[in-house]
Copies of this chain bind each other. A is one copy, B any other.
């Protein structure tokens, strides 16, 4: 066994909760719970070399995950996504160390698979009988896939304007799908009500303690890929912000275990100009963010009026010397084409947003041209083909 999980500690007030039982948020203050491990024991139990030699996927890092691997469900192969240099774009930008981590290679085509793999396995292991999740889209299909794999019923609630391929995925996986004429925040309200009424487990972002652990594996993989000397900066498209918190948590844990050979990367949140709660808070020097009133962007994953764990997102940025950038929808659509044409990467609009953000940071002197920078592309654009220009094929 590899149970190094000690407790679930509130990210705000620190109160501890029994990790052998199912929890949502802190019983005392209502903030997010973060799993805490006996890192001293982990660092004696496993070495970087051992982790590197295990079969691919997130469970290579099982000592830093809840002890739920090997449960009945298939893991579908989340994690160990490609990380490669963007040579042509790098030259164009005058950068020598520009990288892309392509989360589109995950099951269901997005980084959401990491959180779902761990979240669903934990829910199943802790006796949950039925799941419910509000989503901007991709978390819904990822949780639907993993729920199907373990045989748990799931109720997914998403905005009616979510891209059709994502709805088709949910339907194929047999999820009970509800479309709401509103945003993810409206979906969250409906899930909260129905979950309370029917006894479903509410797996909303950062109101469930294990999804962040799955996302954490992105940080573990990035550190490992650079031989435990993290890159200078990671640019991250920030909707709910779980991945950013996860990477921060990964670096803290690795540092405490003595595996890191350098400081954590600067965590840089990229948002859409029409939905930029974290950017506004960052620019105001605030420790918490405010809900965006008229949230709008064509990037579904960025259409989150206020991340539930906004204070943790801002803390992760502050502690790593990060920053925040907002980009326009026109910029991120243009970037989808630029990434595809110049690097052969068909990035989702959320991931493509990182490219104009990077240009801005370089122009402003917020990033050096010789910095080692990772763009975290969160998904495959196959779900968003309506956003790229129509085929220009000629008929014959």
Contact = CB atoms under 8 A, between A and B. Distances in A.
Contact of A344 (B87, B106, B147, B165): B147
B87 A72 contact: yes
A263 to B, nearest CB: 23
A218 to B, nearest CB: 14
A23 to B, nearest CB: 25
B385 A341 contact: no
Interface in A367-384: 380-383
Contact of A82 (B107, B144, B174, B343): B107
Interface stretch (A7-15, A29-37, A293-301, A388-396): A388-396
A385 B165 contact: yes
A383 B394 CA distance: 21
A74 B87 contact: yes
A80 B56 contact: yes
Contact of A395 (B76, B86, B160, B395): B160
Given A53-B52, A87-B72, A391 B77 contact: no
B382 A148 contact: no
Contacts of A343: 74, 148-149
Interface residues of A, number: 76
A308 interface: no
A164 interface: yes
Interface in A304-360: 336-337, 340-346
Contacts of A171: 388-393
A102 interface: yes
A253 interface: no
A75 B87 CA distance: 11
14 contacts: A56-B80, A75-B84, A105-B107, A107-B345, A109-B109, A149-B343, A160-B395, A167-B391, A169-B381, A169-B382, A177-B394, A178-B396, A179-B396, A382-B383
